[in-house]
Amino acid sequence: MTSIQEVALSAGVSAATVSRALAGKPGVSDRVRAKVVQIASDLDYSISKSAASLTTGRTLTIGLITPDVSRWYFGHLVAAIEKKLSEAGYDILLYDIGSGESRGRFFAKMPLRKRVDAVVALLIPNDHEATVLQSLRVPVAILGASRPGFASLGANDVLTAATAVRHLINLGHQKIGMIGAGNTPEDLVSPRERRAGYLLALSEAGIDFDPQLEQNGDYTALGGERAMDLLLAAPTRPTAVFAQSDEMAIGAMKSIRRHGLSIPTDISIIGIDDHELSDAVGLTTLAQPLADHGSEIARAILGQLSEPGVEVPRIELPTRLIVRETTGPAKP
């Protein structure tokens, strides 16, 4: 492992000069700089970030916290964020913290302390978690609702959900079910806000809310399937269902087919996400431009890094209705 000293020795200059030359700092003659660069390359020299961090206080590393990279939603965000930040010269420390107890343990230990220049947290922090993140004393970006001191980004979940439900209403549906999730405050997406959008669209149309038409699908395909089973077993069957995610919608489709019903003739279904397989199964949905979300949040954090203290306004990105084959007019 060649050190800066060896490069300096070999180039016949001091370590300070090598440092300046390699960092592109002024105050080095072109001739010396060229020579140093050449020799560094010959010696296969690469800087020790540990040592550099120790002196500069900067780590050139950004912490990225996610509840579960294996989920479609987070995987896409992580990929987009990683791309943008690595282009800017930062390395990514990934923490896939899960939920519940393991999430608690993560915030208790907070392994990012003194290790990163900034943090992107793909979750909605509760007050305690927000305090812990603040205590890192680096810029932090979060998803979901805006919070003082954090950059934040998200879709307008109320509007998105309302758009989905309005689409069903416009098709003439009145009995509209919803497959959502418990009011888990620690999850990323905001089931509550999407529920609010559902209620909003119903009330706009003068449709009474029927609690029987609401079921929990846990944001998984299996959960969606079970939720649909329950909706179909209820006394008043819905003619259309709004699922808060495509995975749940696709699970629900299985249940519908299993009951011998056809889509959209008997039941319409709409999701949110535009999951990579939604096109293949013909699912009508609201597309979330996750690649844009990711690069925007990355951009926000890079902004904080270059101009600390400047409040970053909340970024809100649009969703787009994609009509495919799972929604159709209500039977007369």
Partner DNA sequence: GTGAAAGCGCTAACAC
Partner DNA sequence: GTGTTAGCGCTTTCAC
Pairwise CA distance, residues 168 & 180, whole Å: 16
Q: Does 9 bind DNA (CB under 7 A)?
A: no
Crossing angle of the two packed helices 191-204 and 157-170, in degrees rounded to 10: 40
Task: Take residue 20 and report the two structure tokens written for it.
Answer: 């300046």
Q: End-to-end alpha-carbon separation of the chain, Å?
A: 77
The pairing of strands 91-96 and 284-287 is: unpaired
What are the start-end ranges of the E strands in 14-150? 61-66, 91-96, 118-121, 140-143
Per CB under 8 A, the segment of 8-16, 141-149, 181-189, 272-280 that binds its own copies is 272-280
Q: Is 46 helix (H, G, I), strand (E, B) or coil?
A: coil
CB 119 within 8 A of CB 151: no
- Binding mask 20-39 toward DNA (x if CB under 7 A, else -) reads x-xx-xxxxx-xxx------
Site membership for its own copies, residue 171 (CB under 8 A): no
162's tokens: 């309302």
Helix or strand or coil: residue 287? strand
Assess whether the previous peptide bond of 264 is cis (omega < 30° from 0): yes
Binding residue for DNA, selected from 9, 37, 52, 315, defined by CB under 7 A: 52
Judged by beta carbon, residue 84 or residue 299, the one nearer its own copies is 84
Determine the interface stretch with its own copies among 57-65, 194-202, 296-304, 310-318 (rule: CB under 8 A). 57-65
Q: Rule CB under 7 A: is residue 15 a binding residue for DNA?
A: yes
* 17 touches DNA by CB under 7 A: yes
Instruction: Please report, as ranges, the residues that interact with its own copies according to CB under 8 A.
Output: 1, 44, 46-51, 53-54, 59, 61, 64, 68-72, 74-76, 78-80, 82-83, 86, 91-96, 98, 110-111, 113-115, 135, 137, 220-222, 224-225, 247, 250-251, 253-254, 275-277, 279-282
Instruction: Please report, as ranges, the residues that interact with DNA according to CB under 7 A.
Output: 1, 3-5, 12-17, 19-20, 22-23, 25-29, 31-33, 45, 47-48, 51-52, 54-56
